[in-house]
Amino acid sequence: MKSMETILIIEDEADIRESLADVLELRGYNVVTVVNGREALERLKAGLMPCLIILDLMLPVMSGWEFRRQQLVNDKWANIPTVLVSGIADLPGESQRLHAASFLLKPIDLASLYKTVDRYC
């Protein structure tokens, strides 16, 4: 049972955020959702330690790029596997540049999502 594993979803589009949360909760994960990088940093500072972060790059307030940069300089958070998500097909190279665990293209294929999540949680 995966009920003790928490996944942090950072996504500003409500439909995508809620859909991801729903399918992952059905698989037994605890899911925390936020709409921008600043909110995500606040959750991490408050002690949240997810097994995986699903990170949209195009976000208001604090972009996914800026969130990831701040995540990487913090020893507690740097090793949390982070999956980049974007609707822009030519961004998979960002995964390497930002030292991400993986890249998922929107619309997200559920089989790819499950395979990625199960690998890290």
Angle CA(59)–CA(117)–CA(63) in degrees, nearest 5? 10
pLDDT, residue 4, reads 78
Query: Considering the domain boundaries, does residue 56 fall inside one?
Result: yes
More confident site: 95 or 77: 77
Residue 52 resides in a domain: yes
Number of domains in the chain: 1
Is 88 part of any domain? yes
Specify whether the backbone of 61 is left (phi greater than 0), alpha (psi in -120 to 50) or beta: left
61: in domain: yes
Question: Each residue of 12-63: pLDDT tens digit?
Answer: 999 999 999 999 999 999 999 999 999 999 999 999 999 999 999 889 999 9
Q: How many helices (H) and strands (E) does the chain have?
A: 5, 5
pLDDT at 29: 96
| In the predicted structure, residue 2 carries a pLDDT above the cut 60 | no
Q: What is the CA radius of gyration of the chain?
A: 13
* One-letter identity of residue 13: E
CATH number of domain containing 113: 3.40.50.2300
**97 pLDDT tier (thresholds 50, 70, 90):** confident
pLDDT for res 1:
43
Contact 72, 37 (CB under 8 A): no
Instruction: Tally Cβ neighbours within 10 Å of residue 65.
Output: 17
Q: Which residue has the higher pLDDT, 103 or 34?
A: 34
The per-residue pLDDT for 100 is 87
Look up the domain containing 103 and give its range. Answer: 6-120
What is the spatial distance between Cα 118 and Cα 112, in angstroms, rounded to a whole number? 10
